[in-house]
Structure 1
Amino acid sequence: MDNFQTADSPAQYLGPFNAARPLGIDRGNYIALQADDPAAAARFAQDNMGFYLVHVDKEGRHYLSAHGLDPYSLVYTRGQQGRVDHISYVVHDIEDLLAAAELLEQSHIPADRLDQSPMWRHGPALRFRNPSGQTIELTTGVNTPVPMGAAVSAPQTAPAPISFDHVVVRATDVRGGYEFASKVMGLKESARIVAPDGIPVLGFFRSHTLFHCYAVARSQYDGLHHVQFTLKNPQAIHAAYERMKQGRQVKLLWGPVRHGPGHNVAYYFNDYTGSIIEYSAEEEIILNDATYVPRAWPVTDPYSADEWNRSPIPEVMM
């Protein structure tokens, strides 16, 4: 049974998408974005976003570390400004990576196995594409029993991103995007925002306990909507926002707000490439998979975007 009908039939919400065969995704690892000038993008991230430059490889990729345990959380590589190069997720171990490769093959999803990744400090990897055209990578990495934001002490500087946790992709075929997230990536739906026609505007999917590591936004074109990095707590969010506001080098787009779905405190801005970046904290943790029921928020509910002030999403982010 379809979870929502197509545009040429009566629109109706029929329940959540459920993961069939998990690929073993544990959490977000890092995101690699293309830039016309990776060095300039990296300088902007160091000067304004709270990242540290830790390596530049012979291909000109700039690797930026956050304040968590991952070797790096953001990479800029040469290419079309703001385009996603790839989105990396951690699986627990090499056995999970091999099992994921078998599952993708059984699902007839083309995937590339990289025994020797071209990336710095990187283990074997598996790469495949989502319906929106972005490359998804699975690899091994740092294992933590709790989300990375809870695993490290509060940084003493601002802004201070701790880890990459989720990405939102735009999809012209929102149903295909949902099916891919659930039935191919094996993620569990946490919530959705639904338009008056019954078709979701935005769907949130989780791999483990964190509310979402991946989301799909209904759009007139395929591409990237935004990238999120976790900060330690709401105090860190407000401190980072004020520092950026005072510095006047960063284009601030929206926030601080507290979202309905996920209940995280967040604000949004542009990086050097023009990509939308979200800094957020206090994202909901889901521990009751057996009894959890995803909530459908009407897009007309002003509390879905901002529980505090009911501020609408800016046009530039639509």
Structure 2
Amino acid sequence: MVTRVGHIALHVADLDAAVDFQQQVLGMVETDRLAGVSYLTCNDRHHELILIEDPHRRGYDHLALEVADAGILETAGKRIAAAGGTVLGGVYDGEPGIDRALKVASPAGHVYKLFCGMQTVAPPPPGDRPLKFEHVSTKVLNHRAEERFLTRGLGFRCSDRMGFLASWWHCDEDHHGIALTLAPRAELSHYAYTFGDLAALGRVADRLKAARHQKCIWGPSRHGPGNNHFLYFHDQDGAMIECCSELAQMQADRYQPRRWSMHPGTINQWGAPPPPRFLLTGFPIAPPQPGRPPWAVGDGRPPETTTATVRA
């Protein structure tokens, strides 16, 4: 059902500070700011990240997943319910940058926004920035129920598994768009961007230090599952970001799904196991709101004809 991973939405305490972090450290650009919400991109899609100013409710709002057309949204409810999920309101339109959407919750309580019709914008000017938003890693207690929801409800397929501790799931050729990690409560572990190469990750670390006097949590190094380079650090509000390059692709002749051992070397092929700061980081799920969220205020322009102005 899902054709690609779209974007993530986060609640932030100070919108200006959160946007500045994404611009200075990652190189993101803002395409729109409406009603206390910033839409940021790194390519020709209207947004790869939504930041919602909300000093009272810390957390991540949803992960957005693109589907082919509005007809799929209209018929998704039964499939979601049969897979153990919950439909949060009906199909709605009017949200900036997309045609229409439907929000659903997984058995663990993670909120997914199924959407269609992403608006395109003029590409950002040349710069050192991500190629796209890539994936999320979520913490869950009941892996089996969550995996059933991903496969039967959303159409994801398993890429790799590491014992009972973690699994990785794809909806397109990228090795994973969603990862599941065993934990005592449901939270966001991290959200990730794709970069061109390992050198680009090093430049991000340089900017993190120069602009924010902040050190990385873990990396750079290379994961086993996914075979990607990685670099982890916290954003302005304490959510963990992963910068990736060379993520494995799921063509049969290039990558074969496998079961990995639970040895620490599985996760870090080059160095030490994950530090406590990485393992203990968790960003809460913001209280879900059924249907069109109150912050999704349109600007009166038809989505199919809008051309957003990119503001660096």
- Structure 2: how far apart are the matches of 1:296 and 1:277? 26
2:145 counterpart of 1:176: yes
CA distance in 2, matches of 1:233, 1:96: 36
Task: Map 1:53-202 onto structure 2 (within 5 A).
Answer: 53-58=30-35, 60-66=36-42, 68-79=43-54, 82-104=58-80, 107=83, 109-111=85-87, 112-117=89-94, 119-142=95-118, 157-158=127-128, 160-194=129-163, 200-202=164-166
**CA displacement at 1:288 relative to structure 2:** 2.5
The equivalences for 1:8-87 within 5 A come to 24-58=1-35, 60-66=36-42, 68-79=43-54, 82-87=58-63
2:213 maps to 249
Q: Given the superposition, is the C-alpha separation of residues 107 and 222 from structure 1 closer, same or farther in structure 2, using an over 3 Å criterion?
A: closer
* 1:206 alignment partner AA: H
1:244, distance to aligned residue in structure 2 (A): 2.3
Q: TM-score, normalised by structure 2?
A: 0.80
Q: Which amino acid aligns with 1:305?
A: I
Larger RCO of the pair (alpha carbons < 8 Å, separation 6+) = 2
Q: Distance in 2 between matches of 1:126 and 1:180?
A: 16
RMSD: 2.6
Q: Measure, in 2, the Cα distance between the counterparts of 1:102 and 1:222.
A: 24
* Preserved CA contact (<8 Å) 1:29 1:70: no
How big is the shift at 1:104? 2.6
CA contact (8 A) 2:133 2:194 kept: yes
Letter in 2 for 1:236: A
Structure 1 position 106, deviation (Å) = 5.3
With over 3 angstroms needed to count, the CA separation of the structure-2 counterparts of 1:106 and 1:183, relative to structure 1, is closer
Identity of aligned pairs, percent? 26
After superposition, the Cα gap between the structure-2 partners of 1:317 and 1:130, relative to the gap in structure 1 and judged at 3 Å, is same
Question: How much does 1:250 deviate?
Answer: 3.5
Give the TM-score normalised by the residue count of structure 1: 0.79
Gaps of 5+ in 2: 280-312
CA contact (8 A) 1:132 1:169 kept: no
Alpha-carbon shift at residue 38 of structure 1 (Å): 2.2
Residue 269 of structure 2 corresponds to which residue in structure 1?
307
Tell me if 1:271 matches 2:271: no
Residues 44-65 of structure 1, C-alpha deviations (whole Å, 9 max, x = no match): 212222111221112x111111
Shift of 1:157: 3.1
1:82 deviates by: 4.7
- AA in 2 matched with 1:168: S
C-alpha distance in 2 between matches for 1:69 and 1:237: 22
Shift of 1:125: 0.5
Aligned-partner SS, 2:203: helix
Matches within 5 A, 1:212-251: 212-251=176-215
SS in 2 for 1:115: strand
Give the stretch that moved more between structures: 239-248 or 48-57: 239-248
Q: Which ranges in structure 1 are unaligned for 5 or more consecutive residues?
A: 1-23, 145-151, 195-199
Take 2:149 and 2:83, find their aligned partners in 1: how far apart are those partners? 11
Residues matched between the structures, number: 275
Deviation at 1:115, TM superposition (A): 2.7
CA change 1:102–1:77 in 2 (3 A) is same
